[in-house]
Structure 1
Amino acid sequence: MQNNVNGLRIALHNLGCKVNSYEMDVMSQKLRENGAEIVPFDEKAEVYIINTCTVTNIADRKSRQMLHRAKKENPDAIVVAVGCYVETGIDGVNKDECIDLAVGNNKKSEIVDILNEFLEARNDTYDKTLNGHSIIDINNTHEYENMTLTQMPEHTRAYIKIQDGCNQFCSYCVIPYARGRVRSREMKDILAEIKGLVVSGCKEVVLTGIHTSSYGVDFGKPQLIELVEQIADIAGIERIRLSSLEPRIITEENAKRLAAVSKLCPHFHLSLQSGCDSVLKRMNRHYTAADFKESVKILRQVFDRPAITTDVIVGFPGETEEEFEECRKFVTDIDFYEMHVFKYSPRKGTVAAGMKEQLTDKEKTARSEILLHLTRKQAECYRNIFIGEKLSVLWEDEEEIKGRRYMIGHTDRYVRVAVPENEIEKYGAHSGEITTVSPSAFINADTLLI
C-alpha cells in the first residue's frame, strides 16, 4: 500500500450524534481534498474509518461490531477507530486485533496527516496511537478543535457544530469523559462557515454541540442567543434551528430575544429525562420538574404553538412505580409534540451503573411502551392543528410511501409534509426550495398530505 491517502479507496461509517455526523462530514471532505476516493462502507476499501459512539454500553458494542465488520470485509485493510469509544476504552482498543489505528476526539481535523504518518511508519515501532500523536488528554484541554465545512453535506440543511464538551456530569452519562470540558468555537468562525455554505445553497442551519446551551460560557458568559441573532443577519439563511437545550436557558428575557428573530424556527428540544424530582436528583440533573414546566410555559407565551420535544429515560436505577407515575403524569400535562423515550442502559464508568435497585428489562420495556403510546397520541394531535393552514415547507428528498412517490419536506416546526410526485411542479416542491402549502389530511402517522 502507498504511503499517503492520495488515490486510496476509503470507506467511512458514522455512529452516534449530530456532532459526530458533522465531524465525519469534515473528515470526508478533507480526505477528498487530498485525493482519496470515498466509497460506500459495504464496498471493499483499503482504509475503513469508523467514527464511534460510547454513550451507552450498546453504543460501545455497535462500535466494536462495525470495526470487526470492516476487518472482515478486507483483512488487509487499515481499520481506524475514531472518537468517543477510543477516549473511554483505549485499553480495549489496544487489545483489539481488528483495530490498526486509533484517533481521539480533538484530533479528527488531522485525519489526513495522521493517516499519512501511519502509512509512512507502518513498519516502525509505533503503537495504535502513533505513540500518542493521534490522541490527547481530552479532560485537560481547553482548545476547541477547529473544523470547517466548505460544502453542503445534504441538499437542504447543514448541521453547524458550535461547541464541544460538557461540564454537567449527569450520573448516567460518560460523555464528559469522552468529550472533555466545555470548549466553544469562535463566533467569527461559525459565521464565516455559514456564509460559505450559503454559496452552496444552504438555507437552513441547525446549531449543534455536545451541550449547546453552554456555548460561550468558557468565554466568560453564555452567548448562544447572541450567536442566533448574528446568524439571522446572514443573507441567504432563511431558517435557524437549535438542537437540544437545557431548560434553564429559557428565561423570559432569552425567550423574548429568540422570538424577535424571525428566522428562528419555533421548534425546541428541551432535555427532560424525568418528570420526577427524586429521579432528577439521582440523575444529577440541575433543575426540577417545576423549573422545566416554567420554561415550557414561557416558550408557549412568546411563541405561537411552538413544537416542544424532549428526551425521557425510563427505568432509571431505583425508579419506583410511584416515581414513574409521577413522570407519566408530568409529561401528559406538558403535552409534548414528541418524546424520545429511552430505556435506561447502564454505562460502565458512571455513578448510576453502580447504583442499587437496577430495574429489569421487562420493567423498563413496560414503562417505555406506556410513554411511546402516549407520545404517538400527542404527536398526532399536534400535527392535526396544522391541517388546512398555510404552512412554509422546506422541501428535501423524494420518498416512497404506500407504493407511491412523494416529495418530502418539513415545516418550521419540523412537521413532515408530503406532496404527490405528479404535483411537485404545481407546488414548486423542489429539493432546497421553500414554498407555502396547505395540508389536507394525514398520509401516515407522521406525515401530512398536500
Structure 2
Amino acid sequence: MKKVALHNLGCKVNSYETEAMSQLLANAGYEIVPFSEKADVYIVNTCSVTNMADRKSRQMLHKAKKMNEGAIVVATGCYVQTASEKIAEDLSIDIIVGNNKKKEIVEILQEYFKEHKKNYIIDINKTDEYEDLEIATVTEHTRAHLKIQDGCNNFCSYCIIPYARGRIRSRKMDSIKDELERLANNGFKEVVFTGINLSCYDDNGKKLIDVIELAENTEGIERIRLGSLDPEVVTEEFAHRLSKVTKICPHFHLSMQSGCDTTLKAMNRHYTSEEYYNKCMLLREKFINPAFTTDVIVGFPQESDEDYATTREFVKKVGFSELHVFKYSRRDGTVAAKMIGQVDETIKSKRSEDLISVGESLKENYRKEKIGEKVSVLFEEEKEINGIKYQVGHTKEYIEVAVETKENLAGKIEEVFLKDFIDNEIMLATRKVLY
C-alpha cells in the first residue's frame, strides 16, 4: 500500500479539491498520511493569487522532494496553470496536474507508474466543463464546504485567477443534491456553498438562489452558509427569496475591495460604492441585524490619501461586523502590476494598520450589540481558555461562542444567551436567561 501526503495552499475551493482528491486516493487503496511524514507520493495543491503564493508553492514542492528523494512529487492547482512552462522544467516535480484534471488523480498516478508521463495540463481557458469532484466527509465534524462553481469572467485588474481557473462553469443541480444528501447522512448540520465566483452559478437557468432553496429542502441540513458574494447578485428577487429560507445564516461576505469609486474603477470592479451600500441596505431590510464581512485592499496603484480616507469612512458607514484587510500585492501578469503610481510599502503598511484598527472597533461594536440576545450556536469542539474548559461553536452570524460546561456539545445546535467577551475573538454565553 503506497502512502500519499497532501498539502493545500490557498482558498476554500482549493481545500475542497484537496479533500476530494484525498478521498479518491483513499478509496483506491492508498494510505493517506500527514504531509510531515515520509510518503511515496506528495501532492501539493498550489496557489497563485500573489507572487508570494507562487513562491510558497515552489518552496513546498521542493520541501516534499527533500523529505523523500525517491518519492513522486505532484504539483497541481493554480500555480501549475499560470507557470506551466517554468514548472515543467523543474526537476524536483514528477507530475504536473492542471485545474480540471484533479478528478483523474488516481488514473494519473497509475499511468505515471507505468509510463512516467509527466504533463496533464489543459488549456483552462478553453473548457466549459465543470470538474465534478465530490466529497462525503470532511475534516471538520459539523460544517462542510460544498463547491458548486469554478472559474471567473471578471478580470479585475489586480487578479490572476481567471487565467488560472478559466471561464465560469457550474456544477449540475442533481450532483449538488446528491452531495447534500451524502453530507446530511454523514451527520453534517451546516453546509457552506463555495466557488471561485459563487454569484455566477448557472445550471441551465438555475441560479444560486435555486441551489440555496435545494439545500433548504434537504433533510438533515440545518444551516446554510454562503461563501463570498459579488454585490450584483443581491437583487430584490434574490433578497426576497433568500429571506424565506429558514436555514440561511445571515452572515454575508460581500466582496468590496475598496470604498472609493475612483479605485473601484481602476480595479475594474463593476459597481460603485453607492450601489454596494444599497445592496447591504436591501439585505438589512430582510434580515434582523445581519453580519456583513468583506475584503479590502489598501495601497492599490494611484490610491491617494483622499481615496484611502474615502474607503475608511465608507467602511464605517456600512458598519461591517468584520474586515479582512490586505496590502496591495503586485502580481505579475496583471494589468495593475504595470500601472504607474505604485504606492510605497510604508504607506501601505500605515493604511493597513489603520484600517485593521477600524475593523476591530466595528467588530467589537457589532458583538456588543448582541450581548443579552438569545442566539443559535452550532457547537464544534472543546477548548481550554485561561485554564477553563468550554464547549465552543459559532452563531449563524459566525460569532465564535463559548459555554462553560462538562457536557460534550459537539455537533449539537443549542440556543444560548450572549453574556460578555472572553477575548477579542470569543464571546461567553450561558444557557440561562440573563435578564
Distance in 2, matches of 1:402 and 1:170, equals 45
Structure 1 counterpart of 2:396, from 412, 416, 420 = 412
User: What is aligned with 1:213?
Assistant: 199
Please show how residues 100-111 of structure 1 align to structure 2 within 5 Å: 100-111=94-105
1:222 Cα deviation from its structure 2 partner: 6.0
8 Å CA contact 1:214–1:222 kept in 2: the answer is: no
Query: 2:37: which partner in 1?
Result: 43
* 1:434 corresponding residue in structure 2: 413
Confirm or deny: 8 A CA contact 2:392 2:403 kept in the other structure.
yes
Match of 2:376 in 1: 392
Question: How far is the alpha carbon of 1:173 from its aligned partner?
Answer: 0.3
Deviation at residue 59 of structure 1 after TM alignment: 0.7
Instruction: Please state how far the C-alpha of 1:30 moved relative to its aligned partner.
Output: 0.6
- Contact preservation (8 Å) 2:8, 2:18: yes
Distance 1:84 1:263, change over 3 A: same
Deviation at 1:271, TM superposition (A): 0.3
List runs of 5+ in structure 1 lacking aligned partners.
1-6
Does residue 59 of the first structure (1) align with residue 59 of the second (2)? no
Distance 2:391 2:62 in 1: 37
Q: Does 1:261 align with 2:245?
A: yes
2:334 pairs with one of 340, 344, 350: 350
The alpha carbon displacement at 1:156 in A equals 0.3
Counterpart residue number, 1:178? 164
- Asked whether the 8 Å contact 1:152–1:202 carries over to 2, the reply is no
Instruction: Give how far 1:162 is off.
Output: 0.5
Secondary structure at the aligned position of 2:422 is classed as strand
Letter in 2 for 1:207: F
Percent sequence identity over aligned pairs: 55
The 10-residue stretch of structure 1 (439-448 or 80-89) with the greater mean CA deviation from structure 2: 439-448
**CA distance in 2: counterparts of 1:290 and 1:407, whole angstroms:** 41
- Out of 283, 303, 316, the residue aligned to residue 332 of structure 1 is 316
Q: Any idea what SS the aligned residue of 2:257 has?
A: coil
State the partner residue of 2:66.
72
What's the CA shift string for 1:237-284, capped at 9, x where partnerless? 100011000111112221111011010110100000000001000000
Give the distance between the partners of 2:139 and 2:128, measured in 1 at CA.
28
The alignment status of 1:305 with 2:284, answered yes or no, reads no
Greater CA drift, 395-404 or 322-331? 395-404
With normalisation by structure 2, the TM-score equals 0.97
- 1:147 pairs with 2:133: yes
**Pairwise CA distance, 1:390:** 1.4
1:374 pairs with 2:358? yes
Q: How many Å separate the matches in 2 of 1:399 and 1:89?
A: 42
Deviation of 1:76 (Å)? 1.3
Q: Secondary structure at the match of 1:240?
A: strand
Tell me whether 1:196 sits opposite 2:182 in the alignment: yes
User: Once structures 1 and 2 are overlaid, which stretch shifts more, 384-393 or 324-333?
Assistant: 384-393
* Distance (whole Å) between structure 1 residues aligned to residue 264 and residue 43 of structure 2: 37
Q: Shift in Å at residue 27 of structure 1? A: 0.3
- 1:435 aligned counterpart, secondary structure: strand
Q: Is 1:85 matched up with 2:79?
A: yes
Q: 1:137 — aligned with what?
A: 123
- 1:360 maps to 344
Helix, strand or coil: the match of 1:93? helix
Code of the aligned partner of 2:194: T
Secondary structure at 1:385's aligned position in 2? helix
Is the contact made by 1:163 and 1:185 (CA closer than 8 Å) also made in structure 2? yes
In the alignment, the residues of structure 1 paired with residue 375 and residue 33 of structure 2 have an alpha-carbon distance, to the nearest angstrom, of: 38
Instruction: Letter of the 1:239 partner, please give it.
Output: R
Amino acid at match of 2:108: I
Match of 1:4 in 2: none
Q: Within 2, Cα distance between the matches of 1:227 and 1:202?
A: 17
Q: Take 1:284 and 1:208, find their aligned partners in 2: how far apart are those partners?
A: 23
Deviations 1:138-161 (A, max 9, x none): 000010011111224320011000
Deviation at 1:220, TM superposition (A): 5.1
Aligned-partner SS, 1:444? coil
Asked whether the 8 Å contact 2:197–2:229 carries over to 1, the reply is: yes
Tell me the alpha carbon deviations over residues 67-119 of structure 1, each in whole angstroms, 9 at most, x when there is no partner. Answer: 11111111111111111000000122122222111000000011010011111
Match runs of 1:317-328 below 5 Å: 317-328=301-312
Instruction: State the number of aligned residues.
Output: 429
1:227 aligned partner: 211
1:246 maps to which of 211, 230, 235: 230
Q: CA RMSD in A?
A: 1.1
Answer yes or no: is the 8 Å Cα contact 1:387–1:448 preserved in 2.
no
Contact 1:163–1:184 (Cα < 8 Å) also in 2: yes
CA distance in 2, matches of 1:142, 1:240: 27
Q: Does the 8 Å CA contact 2:2/2:31 hold for their aligned counterparts?
A: yes
The 8 Å contact of residues 296 and 324 in structure 2, kept in 1 or not, is answered as yes
Q: 2:198, 2:106 → 1: CA distance?
A: 28
